[in-house]
Structure 1
Amino acid sequence: MKPALHGDLKISEIIEHYPQTRSVFTAHGLSALVSEDGMRVLAPFLTLATALRSRLIDLTSFLRLLQEVIDLEELAEAPGLESVDHQGELTLLALMPCGLKVPFSKAISEAIGRIEKEHNLSVRYAVEGNVNQELSYYPYINTLEKVEELPDIIISADFNAFYGHSFYNRFVATGDVTGYNTINTSKTFTDAGVIDPEGNYTVLGINPLVIVANTEQLNGRPLPTCWADLIDPMWKDSITLRGSSDFFCHAVLLPMYRDHGAEGLRQLADNVLQGMHPAQMVKQIDLNAPGALYVMPEFFAYRAKQQQRIQIIWPEDGALASPVTLQVKASRIDELKPVLDLLTGIDLAQSLAGARFPVPHAEVTSEVQDKPLMWISWDLLRERDLLEVNAEIDDLFLPYVKSINK
């Protein structure tokens, strides 16, 4: 039996039982300990706590990183898209936000095995991180012509091709693909208008985007309280968004464009210092690197080691609501009801809420459940083609960001 991780384990014991954790040691400057010589001379006698203490590395944070690597390895039973020849063969495809991939995979893997036995079903599924698919999988969606080419159940994150008019007109308006709406909705989700009034999209949860301030980089500037504050000139070259040179998160840019137009995008771009993944943002904060404000999923903010340095701001007008959405082939609803009930049920919802992702279930309680959300609105999604709007945003925002950040 493999030992549970703790500080008194010898380095050699950890590597012997969990060889996949070697990369964590290397990333923290401890490669000598897990090298061939180190494993022979030092690792059999040196405990993890002692090794980390000598390098001033926090034991609790290091143990968490080790466990995350182990958890990812153990999720081999939740394969990714690379193992699938034709997505139409899949019962379930889940494209999850980074913070939900592991808890979601854990929650469904055992449950689906049980459902297969109890209901004599064969459920083939794949779970991917959404960030890996934004520039590769979603463009593929617009090439599909037949509903048979789609997985039976699709779970996707953020405002993506499944919300575009091309997909909607081919598969949703025809009734081939629909939502599965059995959830007793909370007041927070109702007030924010998150629930699709036409029932074509079932929102399983929200990845809430908030503002995180590095208080040591504020230089006397007051903390923002709402999203409009981010376009104030006082934040010039001070804001970090999720993105890169060719992509910035539309969950942030869409409401800014809706509420403040092209000029609002230009003002925001003027204030952007850089684009990066939220995990990189956390490292920037821990290093006290330049940059006062970061827009990131709320759960990422709690990964910062230097919690005393940050202020997590849940804006008064609501965290930006980046959705995790379920759709299903209408023809498969009856057969796949046990799977759909699992995916929309209380147990999975509680797991998502426990990972700091608000869910629409009125029965679920968590620290994030009753906080306000800002939703883009279903009227906008139906009246305008989301993909066209995103393209407009990119044309306005990306060149300006590039020109001012040379």
Structure 2
Amino acid sequence: MNKYFKLTDTVYDITEKYPEAKELLISHGFEQLKNDLMRKTMGRTISLETALKSRKINPELFVQKLTDAIEQEQYSTGTGLSAMKKESGAEIRVEGVLPCPIRLPLLEKLESWLKENGDIAAKTDYDLKAASMGLDGTKERVLAAHGDAEKLSDLYLSAGFDLFFDHKLMGRYRDAGVFEDISGLEHLNPDFENEHINLRDPKGQYTIIGAVACVFMVNTQVLGDRRFPSSWEDLLSPEFENSISLPVRDLDMFNALTLHIRRFFGKEGVEKLGRNLLSGMHPAQMVKAGKQQQGPAVSITPYFFTQMIDDKSPLVPVWPKEGAIISPIFLLTKAASKDKVKPFVDFLFSKEVGELMSVNGKFPSTNPLVNNHLAPEQSFLWLGWDYIHENDIGALILETERDFYAAAGKEFV
């Protein structure tokens, strides 16, 4: 349990102490909390646990989200790093989300960099939340721009595909030529630019600074006499029906995973994966479940979480032979803002930040100066820019999600 609140605490007590809890609950469907009288009356009579059960919300995952939100606010207050002002008159606006394991150390480096560059800090507002908080606020602001690129932030940073390629969101601006890759790099890290993969956008619009690599872990105590899987294709086999856990609530990773399965194994592959789904755990839950003799035989997870396995665990990490599926960490820059945001881009592409991502967070960097310490067989599986440019990725995400859940026969909330 976290150190801030208990599930048995009332909704009123938690929202009174932590205003961010109110916003998070409202985003999960508790619209009545917008009325402060309702919050003070009804909120005193219902515990957080009861409230979450009423909407079939996973309490463990909600607690993690709220804990992240509280710590994010405390860190911002303690360091002077402020969230973006919604009616900001700042010259430079930066927003997005960062992978949870590297968010705080990266923000510390950013704070130090801004102190050294006071002229930039004075005219900048930014909001870089933990990935667990999602991108709902960013999406709302993009939709509210109604096609006016001047209303967009100058720089966006996030993993995943839906925000950056959905035609209702960034896709419309991409088609209009609003964005430009201003990294200035002639070549990416050879781990990401070789005869098998190239993350450089041939249209020169999108920049990728790193990747969340998706692998899997096999629970040898649960596997039984089934053959040991070593590839994505193996996981689609009927022998793993109702045996696989994957992070369905981590939309960035879930969308990346299912899009790649569709790209390389077709609609049938997505349906096979759906039929093989047993549970939708957070990666940390997967590691915890690995200590038990029940549960999923295979857990699909970001590579980072394989580092949490202890020597006595029955979990065996597997880097798939086709390559680890990646959810790219995109950096999207408005061409009209390139002069004023170039220092930010240079900072995010610096060797120091690249090493922080790769070493501390196990999120391989595309910076050519960074050694990702990957073995030759640790390759990557990538959608490919041709596939991205030839398809409506936003529509494909929705279609793939429908196919997956129809085959799974279950929903996760």
Same fold (TM over 0.5): yes
- The higher radius of gyration belongs to 1
TM-score by length of 2: 0.74
Residue 394 (structure 1) aligned with residue 396 (structure 2): no
How many angstroms apart in 2 are the aligned matches of 1:136 and 1:404? 24
Query: 2:21 aligns to what?
Result: none
> What are the within-5 Å matches in structure 2 for residues 6-405 of structure 1?
22=3, 73-76=74-77, 77=79, 84-86=85-87, 91-117=93-119, 121-134=122-135, 137-138=138-139, 141-144=142-145, 145-167=147-169, 170-183=172-185, 184-191=187-194, 192-244=197-249, 249-305=254-310, 308-354=313-359, 355-368=361-374, 371-403=378-410
Which has the larger displacement, 260-269 or 137-146? 137-146
**Code of the aligned partner of 1:298:** Y
Which has the larger displacement, 288-297 or 302-311? 302-311
How many angstroms apart in 2 are the aligned matches of 1:159 and 1:96? 14
Which has the larger displacement, 175-184 or 314-323? 175-184
Secondary structure of the structure 2 residue equivalent to 1:265: helix
In the TM superposition, residue 78 of structure 1 has moved relative to its aligned partner by 7.5
Q: Which whole-Å deviations, capped at 9, do the CAs of 1:356-401 have from their partners, x for residues lacking one? A: 1111122211334863111111111111111100111122111332
Could you tell me whether the CA contact under 8 Å between 1:245 and 1:398 is conserved in 2? no
Q: Alignment length, in residue pairs? A: 343
In the TM superposition, residue 304 of structure 1 has moved relative to its aligned partner by 3.6
Query: 1:35 aligns to what?
Result: none
Query: 2:63 aligns to what?
Result: none
Q: Which whole-Å deviations, capped at 9, do the CAs of 1:288-311 have from their partners, x for residues lacking one? A: 441111111111122244653211
How many angstroms apart in 1 are the aligned matches of 2:203 and 2:96? 22
Shift in alpha-carbon separation, 1:319–1:87, aligned structure 2, 3 A: farther
How many angstroms apart in 1 are the aligned matches of 2:251 and 2:206? 29
**Code of the aligned partner of 1:187:** P
**Code of the aligned partner of 1:147:** A
For structure 2, the 5+ residue unaligned runs are: 8-69
How many angstroms apart in 1 are the aligned matches of 2:88 and 2:286? 34
Q: CA RMSD in A?
A: 3.2
**Code of the aligned partner of 1:107:** K
Shift in alpha-carbon separation, 1:149–1:288, aligned structure 2, 3 A: farther
Could you tell me whether the CA contact under 8 Å between 2:322 and 2:380 is conserved in 1? yes
How many angstroms apart in 1 are the aligned matches of 2:339 and 2:283? 39
For structure 1, the 5+ residue unaligned runs are: 1-19, 28-68
In the TM superposition, residue 182 of structure 1 has moved relative to its aligned partner by 2.2
Could you tell me whether the CA contact under 8 Å between 1:204 and 1:326 is conserved in 2? yes
Which has the larger displacement, 281-290 or 185-194? 281-290
**Code of the aligned partner of 2:127:** A
Secondary structure of the structure 2 residue equivalent to 1:334: helix
Secondary structure of the structure 2 residue equivalent to 1:190: coil
In the TM superposition, residue 343 of structure 1 has moved relative to its aligned partner by 1.2
Secondary structure of the structure 2 residue equivalent to 1:178: coil
How many angstroms apart in 2 are the aligned matches of 1:218 and 1:121? 56
Q: Which whole-Å deviations, capped at 9, do the CAs of 1:143-186 have from their partners, x for residues lacking one? A: 43211221111101111221223445532233322222323412
Which has the larger displacement, 338-347 or 244-253? 244-253
Shift in alpha-carbon separation, 1:314–1:138, aligned structure 2, 3 A: farther
Could you tell me whether the CA contact under 8 Å between 1:177 and 1:328 is conserved in 2? yes
How many angstroms apart in 1 are the aligned matches of 2:153 and 2:75? 24
Could you tell me whether the CA contact under 8 Å between 1:115 and 1:338 is conserved in 2? no
